[in-house]
Structure 1
């Protein structure tokens, strides 16, 4: 394992970006003498409101398990700047791709609430969300995790060995569409699906799920990064991922087969069910 230099994670959610911008503005305004004191006070309050929300939510949420905490530390210690994913994708790997505590606990709740026994994950990275969901499954439950990058898949599997729930996770190393077609052909059915892979593939993943029998009758689909740092609703030029997410969100809105809600959780989490 190559150890990365200690660098604070960059903000990758609309709230995180807003909090950093407000903090910088507050620091700049505080140093100006000819600025109304009330304006300075309001800006300080706005900055405090934005910067305090995520830490407070974190403190009020059930702590992550020791195995998940260890997985986070291993992911943060890896020098992802030196490693790129396989030729199937051009996306660079980075520690900010980790789902994290709040989203992991949310997914665990969804597993409990749906009483899921079989979970499909499209895009695993180092396995935080897969392991979080596995912790909520019964002992005979299973998470089938799709990951295109062989190095990341092996990295995650080493982490799973440190958890008593790791045996519930089966990793499929291949392009996700290929794996989904194989699972559909084999008659596999899933109660919950979590999509957190290449953003350009989101529309294809959703359509394949809806066009096959992979989904159980009351299955829940959870889709990550559907706010994409605010790019789908901000003015200005978006990145390729921002464009892909905007396209996906509109496709979801226009699809009469489903109903959905977009939750402002971290970088956006859309919940989808077939109607």
Structure 2
């Protein structure tokens, strides 16, 4: 196909799930076949979690493929992002300090160090470091989920976005870094102090002009936007990481504000893995959020206005693409 001139740079998408030992060879050739902006998806890139395990702990038949996956994941300088579909096993009672839901801390760290941190812009790394001093640092967007948000923004060509729940601004900053220079973000949060904690990094990154931060509850702001009919169907992307009790209320309003083809992403939709646990095994403080999250997930599954995908990144992030 590469020898046929009309095939070069002509494909939009490809999916691979075959002999893993040739993944790198496939990748090299796909870089000539995919157009700029095209997407390649490689399955099984964590190889049952073995990529983060010692060789002695792995069944012999898996070892050679494990090495091929490690080599593929270490390709850091290509001009295309790889979305890896991960077969995750939730450790429901995990005491991990990370937000990851993978089967071990080592595996989550492998994902971060192999595919996330090497591509993380320096301002995001700085903001993530600053956030660690906040007493509620765990509220920050998980960097692996952030990486996916950045890709979604690029795929949809986002220019006008809404963010509900800002905290110190990790997801806000990555959005501002990703959208065009004349792009705009309406960012709403009741906590200005947390936002200002990361504001110096946002200013230093030169993207403050893209952000309209509003200190407020989110529902009144969304309703104000909807009062102007010209706002309906004009937003490309919405990210929600706020009070779980109102997720469905936010969703209903975003379905009017987003254009058809626009994307809404909702964070924490696995709620620490508790959505799949018996309620009596869950800490008391987590139960209300668990119940709201379960209800929200059930409602989304029935909503024919959107395509949905629940990705087990960070604490779970559900992607909704408006289709009507």
Partners of 1:155 and 1:263 in 2: how far apart? 29
Of 111, 136, 154, the match for 2:196: 154
C-alpha change, 1:15 and 1:163, in structure 2 (3 Å) is farther
Cα offset, 1:131, TM superposition:
0.5
CA separation of 1:76/1:178 partners in 2, compared to 1, >3 Å: closer, same or farther?
same
**Corresponding residue for 2:128?**
72
Q: Where does residue 59 of structure 1 map in the other structure?
A: 113
CA distance in 1, matches of 2:322, 2:191: 30
Task: Tell me the residue number matched to 2:46.
Answer: none
CA change 1:128–1:16 in 2 (3 A) is: farther
Aligned residues: 221
2:274 is aligned with 1:231: yes
Measure the CA separation in 1 of the matches of 2:270 and 2:226.
29
Kindly provide the CA deviation profile for residues 94-153 of structure 1, in whole angstroms up to 9, marking residues without a partner as x. 100111321221111111111111111111110000101111111111121111112223
Alignment counterpart, residue 252 of structure 1, candidates 285, 300, 320: 300
Matches of 1:154 and 1:184 in 2, distance apart? 28
CA 1:168–1:126 in structure 2 vs 1: closer, same or farther (change >3 Å)? same
Match of 1:50 in 2: 104
Residue 111 of structure 1 pairs with residue 153 of structure 2: yes
Task: Quote the offset at 1:20 in angstroms.
Answer: 4.4
1:19: Cα distance to partner? Answer: 5.5
Per-residue CA deviation, residues 31-77 of structure 1 (Å, 9 max, x unaligned), is: xxxxxxxxxxxxxxxxx962321111112224322211221222112
Greater relative contact order (Cα < 8 A, sep 6+): 1
Residue 9 of structure 2 is matched in structure 1 by none
Q: CA deviation at 1:15?
A: 4.8
Q: What residue ranges of structure 1 are gaps of 5+ in the alignment?
A: 1-12, 22-47, 81-93
- Structure 2: state its 5+ residue gaps: 1-87, 97-101
Moved beyond 6 Å, runs of 4+: none
**1:141 pairs with 177, 183, 193, which one?**
183
- Match of 2:162, SS? strand
Tell me how far apart the structure 2 counterparts of residues 134 and 70 of structure 1 sit (CA, whole Å).
15
CA spacing shift, 1:56–1:172, aligned 2, 3 Å:
same
Q: How does 1:3-22 map onto structure 2 within 5 Å?
A: 15=90, 20=95
Task: Give the structure-1-normalised TM-score.
Answer: 0.74
CA contact (8 A) 1:120 1:193 kept: yes
